Structure 1
Amino acid sequence: MTGNSPLLAVLGLLLITVILFIRNKPRMDAVALLVLLVLPLSGLLDLPSTLAGFSDPNVLLIAALFVIGDGLVRTGIAYRLGDWLVARAGNSEVRLLVLLMLAVAGLGSVMSSTGVVAIFIPVVLGVANRLQIAPARLMMPLAFAGLISGMLSLVATPVNLVVQGELRRAGLEGFGFFSITPLGLAVLALGIAYMLLCRRFLAAGNPAQRQPAGRLTHSALARRYLLDQRERRLQVRADSPLVRQALNELELRQDYGINVIAVERQQRFRTLLLVAHGNTLLEPGDVLLVDIASPAIGLLDSYAQLGLQPLPLEHAYYSLHAHELGLAEVALPPESQLPGKTIQELGFRSRHQLNVVGLRRHGQPLQGVLVDERLKPSDTLLVTGSWKAIHRLQQQSRDFLVLSLPAEVDEVAPAARKAPYALLSLAVMVALMVSGLVPNVLAALIGCLLMGAFRCIDLDSAYRAIHWPTLILIIGMLPFAQALQQTGGIDLAVQALVGLFGSASPPLILACLFLLTATIGLFISNTATAVLMAPVAIACAQALQASPLPFAMTVCLAASAAFMTPISSPVNTLVLGPGQYRFADFVRLGVPFTLLVMLLCVLLVPRLLPF
């Protein structure tokens, strides 16, 4: 390639990548992997430069922070914070909004903002019902606080770490752990004041769809979906044809309307509860905890045919076995691909080790055999299974959103007794990062190892906690910055900015940089935006013979300011359904707030980080 051909090729590839990101077909992480393939094969970048992201310390740091966040969830700290919020808010909507935004922003400064928002959605729904206010008045403040949390510490979001890494590659010292914190606190204060003034403009929502007050219990969820009318205990006789058969081979639900939820198996000294899976083998004497399709179905002949003996049910088994058998309400987020499919096609039992035992549509529970029911976007499902499987489902925010976890979840947090040790591990990590005694990545690894040593988290959970698509996205986008640098793309962008505003004051250039970054963030992820804009900001500062720090900080703030549309960030998408928002609701409140944040940034950044 000669002349401008390499630059045009890189820009063309970048444009195709952005278009694929917008379409989300294929997935963004798959597109990132394709980039890693195309760049070296096309000769635009050599192989070591293309794969340099795999050895980037920030990638390992981000992975470690996912593990730290999961440790806070497994030890129940995140849920206890939600309960504290409920207790402190009382009956005041203003107090609730302020405490909610403070709590979400604070927790999000040390763990994934998406995870924090997902945790708080059921809390907010319950409190909104108790205070008799529309959830829409609280869901957008929840999302905005999650986004602002990325502005409160260096490790709060991958965006900051990407920009920090670019500063280090440019030979600069970079930011301290709390360099961004004063700016983030100012934006948080602005956000709280803005939401207190503007929450009345949010959609009123549908009061009929509000959630029951407080944290639901197993019993309340069971009544809500009419499970208490369908619970049965059946013992497998020695002559039963079901003996030594796997559940997925018996098709009891399709043929008899019998859904096996769990199995009580008598051991030498105790009764063992086995949560039912497709490959569960039945033994003589097993007691099946089942959900029947309808209480009106006469099943005595079926019981005799199957060799099952009905047993008395003195207590609801969902409450009796709450420590091992979980319940959760699940909704379908806007980007879910599942509406139109049947419950049978979802394969919950085989894919997620969970049973669908209830379905509500337009606020009313459906009865009968549900396996052939086609899902609609507004449906909520009730699933049951092990708590471990339910927590795994929480991480699959693309197709599922866990709306309500019953109060019993606090009692079955896998490492609830280790909460003090999780806080200690977190404090050690933050102290090491603040002090600078070791690099941030080593501090995060020390925090992970401490959580493992204290058994706040195990290795299997740690690997599951890491959001691999995010890491692959960062690794795949990092070579673009190098390719643009080598082909002159960065210089071209800087010349355009400086040429247009070179005679203007640096704050005006900061405003333009903020707007450009925020606009790009409307179409691609904020992490990918930071990867592209950080080198432009640094080169622009160098062209103006100014300090790169205020320019780089502007990119950090602008990339996290994804307030303008419900698809700007996964955080916004999560609250779209529970808040019953329209696209225009985010535009109406998000665009003015983004402009206010830009103004605040232009005023404060030069004062904290002089040119």
Structure 2
Amino acid sequence: MATIALIGSNLTLIGASHNLVVHSLLKESQGAGFGFFEFSIVGICLLLASFLYIFFIGRYLLPHRQKLDNPRNSTVTANLIQEYDLKNKLFEAWVSTDLEGKHLSIAALDLYGKYGLDLLEVVREGSKFVALDDFDLQSGDTLLLKGTEQAAKDFCEYYSGITYMGPPRAQEKYPISSAELAEAVVPPRSPVMGKTPKEINFREDYSLTVIGYYRDGKPHASYAQDVKLKEGDGLLFYGPRNAIRDFEPTKEILIYYKPGIPEVSAKKEILAPLATAILLAVVVVSVADLVPISVAAIGGATLMVLAGIINPAKAYDAIDWKIIVLIGGMYPLGIALVQSGTADMIGDGLVNVLGGYGALIVMAGISLLTMILTQPIHNAVVAIIMTPIAINAAELMGSNPRAFCIAVMVSCSSTFLMSVGHPAPLMVQIPGNYNAVDYIKFGLPLNIIAMAVILIIIPLFWPL
């Protein structure tokens, strides 16, 4: 996954930050940068070759890892059921045909007041509802109750049209398929302190039910709706998946922990076509060269925020300021390499040593040096250093600077031997339990493949 992400950066000009760095330096030097898809053919060839290597060879070079359970089937919900001691406090009741023609509302049942039971949901013809007080039961409905077993039995015995069914089947998976559990903590000075969950109207306003609370190191599952909240209380919410995911209280009110793998909420799904249109517009405007890529990208991001697709705080948090500062601080280095004559000196050295073998070997030397540097150093920084050198070497050889710059871009993306040169290989290190030797065994052939693509494909489309 990490290697394909790195290789995929060679498909478009905006695939990676180092592409834009090389593009900018080339434009300053030669008067014209790269087109949006100009070097995509190189990325496609490298991607296909890497797929073949990974499928037939690479996967056998990595140690076998035990397959992990799908986190959707094993994480937050099951843990919270155990943590709040709910395993034997969930029961089902079935509404029989005896109730047909009669009107029985949830309010009339007084489940909570008489029996201390929480009605979590009603299942009707395969659909599931968060039943409020004005919800009328119908024959064939199944009620999901939370409380003590005796209370559930007492309730069903009182109403002749309601039959006690016992605990839900496959309780270990409850309620992943249709709803979820989530936890929140009451922070200091929260305005909800001193109020009960019933008074806050979580159920009416957000379709969420507080079915338990955690206080003084102990879980409490009974009469959770009536407890006056204190600082540090943990609240266990139950609700439909969309309601759980859409609930976003401020941290001053509740510190809320959404469960499982982040998902797109129903509200955001509606905006998906608009987000796609904005992305396509950015690409079209960039390809047509109507405005600079930076302007198109910032404009697209601004539209995303204004349309409510992403809120400003999340957009701000998504910016990696360390990388921006790093690139901004290092960019003058590339200019200094040119103006101080250092790029000429290094380029002269490469040409003096390798120039007798031809431009292709000089390009290979620059690519190899770039690949070595980009293993421990961020690829954007390496691009800043190597692009002026590559342009100077190409000019000294009377060769094509664009070809040399594409070689630098592909080499900068070949961060396969170490985990520290780019976030992608670092992100998979812990989940895959990879060590330094794993990276070298798996990555070295990929570097060789990348070098082969540079030396074969680039000269075909950009003659040296």
Q: TM-score, normalised by structure 1?
A: 0.52
SS of the residue corresponding to residue 291 of structure 1 reads strand
Change (3 A) 1:563 1:202: same
Change (3 A) 1:279 1:584: farther
Per-residue CA distance 1:532-576 (angstroms, 9 max, x = gap): 111111111111122210011110000011111222321111111
Residues 1:222 and 2:77 aligned together? yes
Residues 1:291 and 2:214 aligned together? yes
SS of the residue corresponding to residue 356 of structure 2 reads coil
Specify the code of the residue in structure 1 equivalent to 2:63.
Answer: A
Residues 1:474 and 2:324 aligned together? no
Identify which of 299, 307, 320 aligns with 2:239: 320
Change (3 A) 1:483 1:192: same
Q: What residue in structure 1 maps to residue 69 of structure 2? A: 211
Q: What residue in structure 1 maps to residue 144 of structure 2? A: none
Q: What residue in structure 2 maps to residue 155 of structure 1? A: 14
Change (3 A) 1:226 1:457: closer
Query: RMSD value over aligned CA atoms?
Result: 3.3
Is the contact made by 1:231 and 1:291 (CA closer than 8 Å) also made in structure 2? no
Q: What residue in structure 1 maps to residue 188 of structure 2? A: 278
Q: What residue in structure 1 maps to residue 282 of structure 2? A: 429
Identify which of 60, 63, 83 aligns with 1:200: 60
Which runs of structure 2 are paired with 1:28-39 in the superposition (5 Å)? none
Q: CA deviation at 1:509?
A: 1.1
Q: What residue in structure 2 maps to residue 512 of structure 1? A: 365
User: 2: distance between equivalents of 1:449 and 1:180?
Assistant: 28
Q: CA deviation at 1:517?
A: 0.3
Specify the code of the residue in structure 2 equivalent to 1:156.
Answer: G
Q: What residue in structure 1 maps to residue 119 of structure 2? A: none
Q: What residue in structure 2 maps to residue 266 of structure 1? A: none
User: 1: distance between equivalents of 2:197 and 2:286?
Assistant: 54
Q: CA deviation at 1:493?
A: 0.6
Q: What residue in structure 2 maps to residue 600 of structure 1? A: 453
Identify which of 438, 444, 461 aligns with 1:591: 444
Per-residue CA distance 1:501-557 (angstroms, 9 max, x = gap): 111121111111111001011221111111111111111111112221001111000
Q: What residue in structure 1 maps to residue 261 of structure 2? A: 405
Per-residue CA distance 1:228-259 (angstroms, 9 max, x = gap): 54469xxxxxxxxxxxxxxxxxxxxxxxxxxx
Change (3 A) 1:221 1:470: same
Instruction: Using CA pairs under 8 Å that are at least 6 residues apart, name the structure with larger relative contact order, 1 or 2.
Output: 1
Q: What residue in structure 1 maps to residue 392 of structure 2? A: 539
Per-residue CA distance 1:18-37 (angstroms, 9 max, x = gap): xxxxxxxxxxxxxxxxxxxx
Q: CA deviation at 1:581?
A: 1.6
Specify the code of the residue in structure 2 equivalent to 1:437.
Answer: L
SS of the residue corresponding to residue 151 of structure 1 reads coil
Q: What residue in structure 2 maps to residue 139 of structure 1? A: none
Q: CA deviation at 1:220?
A: 5.6
User: 1: distance between equivalents of 2:50 and 2:403?
Assistant: 22
Is the contact made by 2:196 and 2:227 (CA closer than 8 Å) also made in structure 1? no
Per-residue CA distance 1:116-166 (angstroms, 9 max, x = gap): xxxxxxxxxxxxxxxxxxxxxxxxxx1111101211100010000000000
Q: CA deviation at 1:454?
A: 3.0
Specify the code of the residue in structure 1 equivalent to 2:69.
Answer: Q
Change (3 A) 1:220 1:168: closer
Specify the code of the residue in structure 2 equivalent to 1:432.
Answer: V
Q: What residue in structure 2 maps to residue 498 of structure 1? A: 351
SS of the residue corresponding to residue 213 of structure 2 reads strand
Identify which of 38, 42, 48 aligns with 1:183: 42
Specify the code of the residue in structure 2 equivalent to 1:187.
Answer: L
Q: What residue in structure 2 maps to residue 530 of structure 1? A: 383
User: 2: distance between equivalents of 1:321 and 1:475?
Assistant: 46
Q: What residue in structure 2 maps to residue 335 of structure 1? A: none
Identify which of 160, 171, 180 aligns with 2:30: 171
User: 1: distance between equivalents of 2:216 and 2:60?
Assistant: 44
User: 2: distance between equivalents of 1:321 and 1:523?
Assistant: 46
Q: CA deviation at 1:441?
A: 2.1
User: 2: distance between equivalents of 1:309 and 1:554?
Assistant: 66
Q: What residue in structure 2 maps to residue 116 of structure 1? A: none
Is the contact made by 2:376 and 2:418 (CA closer than 8 Å) also made in structure 1? no
User: 1: distance between equivalents of 2:184 and 2:61?
Assistant: 50
Q: What residue in structure 1 maps to residue 98 of structure 2? A: none
User: 2: distance between equivalents of 1:309 and 1:525?
Assistant: 52
Q: TM-score, normalised by structure 2?
A: 0.67
Is the contact made by 2:391 and 2:405 (CA closer than 8 Å) also made in structure 1? yes
Q: CA deviation at 1:466?
A: 1.8
SS of the residue corresponding to residue 320 of structure 1 reads strand
Specify the code of the residue in structure 2 equivalent to 1:175.
Answer: F
Specify the code of the residue in structure 2 equivalent to 1:154.
Answer: L
User: 2: distance between equivalents of 1:195 and 1:204?
Assistant: 14
Change (3 A) 1:449 1:149: same
Unaligned runs of 5+ in 2: 88-133, 135-182, 199-209, 230-234
Quick check: which has more Rg, 1 or 2? Answer: 2
User: 2: distance between equivalents of 1:298 and 1:417?
Assistant: 38
User: 1: distance between equivalents of 2:359 and 2:216?
Assistant: 69
User: 2: distance between equivalents of 1:442 and 1:291?
Assistant: 50
Is the contact made by 1:230 and 1:292 (CA closer than 8 Å) also made in structure 2? no
Q: Name the count of aligned residue pairs.
A: 345
Change (3 A) 1:470 1:510: same
SS of the residue corresponding to residue 541 of structure 1 reads helix
User: 1: distance between equivalents of 2:353 and 2:269?
Assistant: 57
Q: CA deviation at 1:435?
A: 1.5
Is the contact made by 1:203 and 1:580 (CA closer than 8 Å) also made in structure 2? no
